[in-house]
């Protein structure tokens, strides 16, 4: 039985771009107030949850205090995504 010749292999290199890429603008570091607010929200959230479990807050232990504390931690953690 005869053997087939097979196909020619395609060039695996991509074609070079025809235009010169422009320089990407780099953003500077995050301002100090952003970093302080980020860590402050996380810290206040943790303190609020701990104070709720101890019973230090008015009204006794409440789920609303827990949700507010978790929201503070979540917003602070979300701010870390934009930290430079």
Residues 10-39 pLDDT 10s: 767 877 778 877 777 888 899 999 999 999
Residue 6, classed as helix, strand or coil, is coil
Contacts 24+ apart (CB under 8 A), 48-57: 48/72
Mean pLDDT, residues 60-70: 94
Between CA 15 and CA 19 the distance in angstroms is 12
Task: Domain ranges for the chain, please list them.
Answer: 32-82
In three-state form (DSSP H/G/I as H, E/B as E, the rest C), the secondary structure along 17-53 is: CCCCCCCCCCCCCCCHHHHHHHHHHHHHHHHHHHHHH
Q: What percent of the chain has pLDDT over 90?
A: 62
Residue 55, classed as helix, strand or coil, is coil
pTM: 0.69
């Amino acid at each position: 039985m005869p053997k087939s010749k097979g196909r020619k292999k395609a060039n695996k290199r991509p074609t070079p771009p025809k235009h010169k890429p422009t320089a990407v603008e780099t953003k500077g570091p995050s301002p100090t107030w952003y970093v302080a607010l980020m860590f402050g929200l996380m810290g206040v959230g943790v303190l609020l949850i701990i104070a709720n479990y101890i019973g230090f807050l008015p009204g006794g232990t409440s789920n609303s205090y827990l949700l507010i504390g978790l929201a503070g931690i979540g917003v602070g953690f979300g701010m870390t995504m934009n930290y430079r």
